[in-house]
Amino acid sequence: MANERKTEIITRNHFNQFLKEVEIEEQSSDNPKIDKLLKTASKGGFGKGYPEFIITYKTNSDLLIVIECKAKTKYHESKNRDKYKDFAVDGALLYASYMSKEFDVLAIAISGETKQELKISHFLHLKGEKKAVSFVGDKLLNVDEYLQNYLKSPEKFRQDYNALLDFTKILNAKLHSNKVLGSERSLLISAILIALENDAFQKSYASHKTPENLAKALTQTVSNELENADIGDKKLKNLNTQFSFINTDTSLSQKDNVLKETIDDIDGNINTFIKSHQYFDVLGQLYIEFLRYANSDKSLGIVLTPPHITELFSDLAQVNKNSIIYDNCTGTGGFLISAMSKMIKDAKGDETKIKEIKSKQLIGVEFQSKIFALAVSNMYIHQDGKTSIIKGSCFDDAVITKVKAKNPTVGFLNPPYKSDKKHDDDELEFILNNLECLVDGGTCVAIVPMQSALATSGKVYEFKKELLKKHSLEAVFSMPDELFHNSKVGVVSCIMLFTAHKPHPKAKETYFGYYKDDGFIKRKIQGRYDGYGAWKDIKQKWLANYNNKKNEAGFSVTKCVTADNEWVAEAYMNTDYSGLFDRDFEDDILNYVTFLHKNKIFTQVLCDE
């Protein structure tokens, strides 16, 4: 005869090992918030309902674990997960749906009467989300492993990131109302984040009696922290100059509580995010958000690469712990931070190697002083005060010599998009510069305007010829049209991938990908973001097709090209007609007719016909 008590004993014995970290309740809860949430959660549909176990963490009140047990494994999960009383998964998900109104919930379904036959399913249902997602496999883990997997999960990151963006909007409005310039808001935040790394400042900043004293304490702490990081006198002088506005800004240095409340907000929101999600270009993303909500303030005038694309670069280049990364247009350091994350993960906890990665294997060059300050601050916040971020022009001979001496193996860049065609350096010149600095056989990945790939005459055409004369074009990926929507830039772009110092063979086939759909959607508040969680699977397809040089109608193709050809997938790939239906043509015709009417040219077209 089935005995559910046996399943409960196995479960209880497992979690009783961790009573120092968690509290375990069975069939009820003394927590009034939990009790209230479950008052209508009966599996039968009437009155209160309780899972077999409710587990709370002593150090993290955001996460609950709920466990539902069944004796027989055949009652583990129903087909539609709607038989809450009879099946373990169904019941666990039901309880999670109720408690997720106030908590993040890890729902565990356990069936079986012996350890050998035990069947286990895990689901994570985050607060405010409509449904749960599968989580951490089919084995019971210790409570710290559950906590760490939760904190590092893509779902938790997305939740925290959305909360960060919501906070950024509020913070931006506050800073705007206090007349802090848009070009200085990211610098202010970076200064505060650096200062908060100092324990003495964090404990004492609230005790300063005047805003002027607090402003001086903030800038002095930042200067001391950067000096202790041994970044060099020249860099330190430049950074002190960039942060000096904090001492003279009327609101920050003279208005009561403006600076203090800003520090409070940043410590409680941004600093917490950074500690939870390491190696993410937080300052770059804040800068993008400030741009989105900017009013008449003059921005710093750069276009930052979205974080999912900086991560894609590292995957395309197969970055590992031994890679040496060079970005000759560093910006806020997004490419370097994404690469750092991948390299440190590959180091698998080897602290000596991790220290070497941070101090020797990340090289950047940035020309603009304010952006340079953000880049150095960004790297410092990620526990790296010694990264080789060089202030200057990547075209200077002295800079090129210094970079070459470090033997970079991988080059990343998003070059400045030229606004003055006669005087600005061309985007392809920056690619040539990056490739020049790489070791033989190194990989360069760059994102540039589509017209750079389309040119078949003029100056850009000559740069294309020079690129193929010296290096090999491995791939070109056509990017989504509105990729830079959050940066308020409408440029259509493509990614180019080269092998350094290997002239392009005439018979070589280059891979072209029509990577126009990254699954992102646009919303007024969030901007362009991964609203449906589709990016992970889409990226895997992008990488698989490229790595296998797969030809797929409507998506990818390989082709031998020269500088005389257009370097885009659209010029060569076959059309996939399998997804076209009559309604597609009907919709296009209706849209066209609407356009004609709207622009009052319908009668003209009829006359012409």
Mind listing the pLDDT tens digit for each residue in 420-452?
A: 566 678 999 999 999 999 999 999 999 999 999
Residue type, 120: I
Q: Are 418 and 424 in contact (CB under 8 A)?
A: yes
pLDDT category at 384 given cuts 50, 70, 90 is low
Tokens of 244: 């000096």
Look up tokens 């010599």; give the residue. 401
Count, residues in the chain: 609
**What does the alpha-carbon distance between residue 143 and residue 150 come to, in Å, rounded to a whole number?**
11
What confidence score (pLDDT) does residue 609 get?
44
Instruction: Report DSSP state, residue 533.
Output: S
Partnered with residue 499 across adjacent β-strands are 443, 472
DSSP H helical ranges for 270-393: 270-276, 282-292, 307-316, 334-347, 351-360, 369-381
What confidence score (pLDDT) does residue 284 get?
74
Q: Are 266 and 252 in contact (CB under 8 A)?
A: no
pLDDT at 295 over 50: no
Strands (E), 468-526: 472-478, 493-499, 509-514, 521-523
Strands (E), 376-503: 388-391, 410-413, 443-449, 472-478, 493-499
Q: Are 440 and 500 in contact (CB under 8 A)?
A: yes
- Residues 123-133: pLDDT tens digits? 999 998 888 99
For 111, the 3-state DSSP assignment is strand
More confident residue, 477 or 523: 477
Query: Alpha-carbon dihedral of residues 544, 483, 343, 375, nearest 10 degrees?
Result: 170
pLDDT at 483 over 90: yes
Chain centroid to Cα 354, Å, comes to: 21
Q: Are 251 and 294 in contact (CB under 8 A)?
A: no
Closest to 297 in 3D by CA, of 186, 403, 376, 197? 186
**What does the alpha-carbon distance between residue 104 and residue 61 come to, in Å, rounded to a whole number?**
9
Partnered with residue 556 across adjacent β-strands are 513, 552
Strands (E), 143-208: none
444 phi, psi to nearest 5 deg: -115, 130
Q: Are 445 and 439 in contact (CB under 8 A)?
A: no
Number of continuous H segments (helices) and E segments (strands) in the chain: 25, 17
Set out the domains of the chain in order of their start, with CATH numbers.
Answer: 4-151 (3.40.1350), 581-609 (no CATH)
Closest to 326 in 3D by CA, of 353, 303, 360, 355? 360
pLDDT at 361 over 70: yes
Closest to 494 in 3D by CA, of 555, 463, 448, 538? 448
For 421, the 3-state DSSP assignment is coil
Residue 220 CB burial class (10 angstroms; 0-12, 13-18, ≥19): middle
What is the average pLDDT value for the chain, to the nearest integer? 88
Mean pLDDT score, 82-92? 92
Q: What percent of the chain has pLDDT over 90?
A: 63
Q: Are 334 and 287 in contact (CB under 8 A)?
A: no
pLDDT at 603 over 60: no
Q: Does the pTM exceed 0.95?
A: no
CA triplet 375, 164, 95: central angle to 5 degrees? 140
Q: How many CB atoms lie within 10 A of CB 429?
A: 18
Q: How many CB atoms lie within 10 A of CB 82?
A: 10
CA triplet 434, 439, 444: central angle to 5 degrees? 40
CA triplet 406, 414, 339: central angle to 5 degrees? 50
